[in-house]
Amino acid sequence: MRSFAIDDRNTITEKQAMVMTLDICVSYAWIRKVFMCKQTEINELIDSGDLTGAIKLIIGLYRLPNQFIKRVGYSAKSLPITATAAMQLETPVGSTRPIAGTLLFTASKPDVTSIPRYRLLHVITHELAHARMNLDDHKLRHSEFATDVLALLVSGNAQDFSDQMNDVFMEYGYIRPDLYRTVFATLHRHAENIYL
Ligand SMILES: [Zn+2]
């Protein structure tokens, strides 16, 4: 199910962490910008319990093709119990680019709705990052580390993350604690630059 990306967290060096984070900033700072413009709206949708509306809005910000995400599923029995969510991509034989995707959550919709907002944003932006990077045939698309960096970049969780990052990354992340400093410093420096 997640065969299009590998858990590479244990092999990343500090230098690679810096280079990969910069690469993600250069490729995807535009998503950060459009997300920032809609941050208040996204927060309000999540806080009011309109998960479907929030996901739809974020899908739009990633500029995935119309109808690319065909379905958002809850209580997915096919996921490992330890997974919070997954992106299933449909890729035609002989192609590297997916034509459709399904976003699945392990928990029921009410349980997903009760996940703290910053964590829910991380999960949604991580799974949609898989879709975006695979559509782009991005060179880091197979890296869970890079996918998590893109989620941090887009969600802005890197901005004020210090209180929360242990919770998020200890349990869910693909970024090793010894690389936090490098990843966050690089994101802070480059997340909102304009790349031409
Ligand atoms: Zn992933």
* 135 falls within a domain: yes
Q: How confident is residue 118, by pLDDT bands cut at 50, 70 and 90?
A: confident
pLDDT at 72: 96
Domain of 166, in residue numbers: 14-190
State the distance from the centre of ligand 1 to the C-alpha of 39, rounded, in angstroms.
Answer: 23
Phi and psi at residue 164, in whole multiples of 5°?
-110, -15
pLDDT at 78: 87
* 108 falls within a domain: yes
* 24 falls within a domain: yes
63 contacts: CB under 8 Å, gap ≥ 6: 31, 132
* 8 falls within a domain: no
Q: How far is CA 18 from CA 31, 158, 179, 188, in A?
A: 20, 15, 9, 12
pTM of the complete model: 0.91
- How many separate domains does the chain show? 1
* 2 falls within a domain: no
State the distance from the centre of ligand 1 to the C-alpha of 126, rounded, in angstroms.
Answer: 6
pLDDT top residue among 164 and 150: 150
* 100 falls within a domain: yes
pLDDT at 57: 96
pLDDT at 195: 64
State the distance from the centre of ligand 1 to the C-alpha of 104, rounded, in angstroms.
Answer: 12
| Nearest one of 118, 151, 130 to 31, comparing CA atoms | 151
* 23 falls within a domain: yes
State the distance from the centre of ligand 1 to the C-alpha of 142, rounded, in angstroms.
Answer: 9
State the distance from the centre of ligand 1 to the C-alpha of 93, rounded, in angstroms.
Answer: 22
State the distance from the centre of ligand 1 to the C-alpha of 147, rounded, in angstroms.
Answer: 6
Render pLDDT for 56-101 as a digit per residue (tens, 0 to 9): 999 999 999 989 999 999 999 888 878 899 999 999 999 989 999 9
